[in-house]
Structure 1
């Protein structure tokens, strides 16, 4: 009986210690940096914590309320539901997964600023609806959900604003996002690898005279498909 009591109390104490484990201690033990994520401020426990100035590569994402799944943590993995608090950037929710052979994000809903995510391409923001992006052993294992983006080209009196919509899918080892405008005259496509390499292009077909000269200031070049801007970066 005494031995059972000792085992029981030890288990309760271990669970309590785990639930009160500071988030700033738990996060470095994960491999979140492999996802291109870093944070300047981390506070609270793994049961309820807050991450301030979360960065994806060079892109500031905002401040988030987060919590970790203790069961997943015991297995050396991270399952972290998150919710953005910044009112200016709007809501962003999902579940981050890391550790072991599986990493990525599930049930992602909301918008990300895109100024530093697409290699300088003139895209203001990227929005996700019920998106899941998971890599396992370095390969895309699941990519589903809807994605949207806003093209913003402004030059003097010209304001070429377009909305793109499309879907996510696995293509080989990488995630592929394929988006188009409602008219189908503009396209945005890009690939993301497990290492955070992003490669893609924007293509615009338009009858506007002089548009090629204006878009050339953004790096667009004439191609058989129209005016094309390739981009490449790493998160």
Structure 2
């Protein structure tokens, strides 16, 4: 009876510790820095916590309610469901995965400001729809869903304010996003590696006469495929 009682009480204690585990301890173990992320504030437990001023690289994402999967935590992994609270930036939901060999985000839906994410490219927001991006070590394991981009400036009479839309896929070890305007004459394409390296370009294939001079002030270069603005950064 004493042996059974010891096992029972030990089990109850371990379950209680898991249920009341502070969120900040779980986040510390999750190594968010490996995903290019950091949080200035974290409170509550893994069952119902809140992250304040979550950052992706130098870009502020907002404040989130989060909930962790205890089963994944027991295996030394993080599967964290998140929901943004900020009304100004709008809803953003998904599941963050890290720990073990698999890391990334699943079923991401909502908008992320991009002013500090894409190496100076004139894109002010990226909007995701049911987007999954997962890396297995340094290799892209899964990439699916849709993504849209909104330009931060208008290029004269060119109607680029309609934005771009497309899909994400795995391309070798990297994630590849290919977006195009409704007419298909303007494109945004970029690659993201597991290390957070981002490299891409904006291409305008049929610019209006004389517009190349204006676009040159934004860094566009004339080439055989049209006017191209390359960008590169690291999250």
TM norm structure 1: 0.96
Q: How big is each residue's C-alpha offset from its partner over 1:119-154, in whole Å with a ceiling of 9 and x where there is no partner?
A: 110111111111110000210000011111112324
Residues 158 and 139 (structure 1 numbering): CA distance in 2 closer, same or farther, change over 3 Å?
A: closer
Question: Which residue in 2 is equivalent to 1:152?
Answer: 152
Question: Which residue in 1 is equivalent to 2:46?
Answer: 46
Unmatched segments (≥5 aa) in structure 1? none
2 CA distance for matches of 1:168 and 1:160?
21
Unmatched segments (≥5 aa) in structure 2? none
Q: How does 1:89-128 map to 2 (within 5 A)?
A: 89-128=89-128
User: Does the 8 A contact of 1:96 with 1:106 survive in 2?
Assistant: yes
User: Does the 8 A contact of 2:160 with 2:181 survive in 1?
Assistant: no
Q: How big is each residue's C-alpha offset from its partner over 1:159-218, in whole Å with a ceiling of 9 and x where there is no partner?
A: 741311111100000000001011001000000000000000000133423211111111
Across the aligned residues of Structure 1 and Structure 2, the Cα RMSD in angstroms comes to: 1.5
- Between the two proteins, the alignment pairs up a number of residues equal to 235
2 CA distance for matches of 1:156 and 1:149?
19
1 CA distance for matches of 2:74 and 2:19?
11
1 CA distance for matches of 2:69 and 2:101?
17
SS of residue paired to 1:124: strand
TM norm structure 2: 0.96
| Superposition misfits of 4+ residues, deviation over 6 angstroms | 155-159
1 CA distance for matches of 2:93 and 2:167?
18
Structure 1 residue 32, shift from structure 2 partner: 1.3
2 CA distance for matches of 1:76 and 1:198?
28
Residues 131 and 156 (structure 1 numbering): CA distance in 2 closer, same or farther, change over 3 Å?
A: closer
Q: How big is each residue's C-alpha offset from its partner over 1:39-78, in whole Å with a ceiling of 9 and x where there is no partner?
A: 1111111111100000000000000000111111111100
1 CA distance for matches of 2:123 and 2:85?
23
1:216 aligns with 2:216: yes
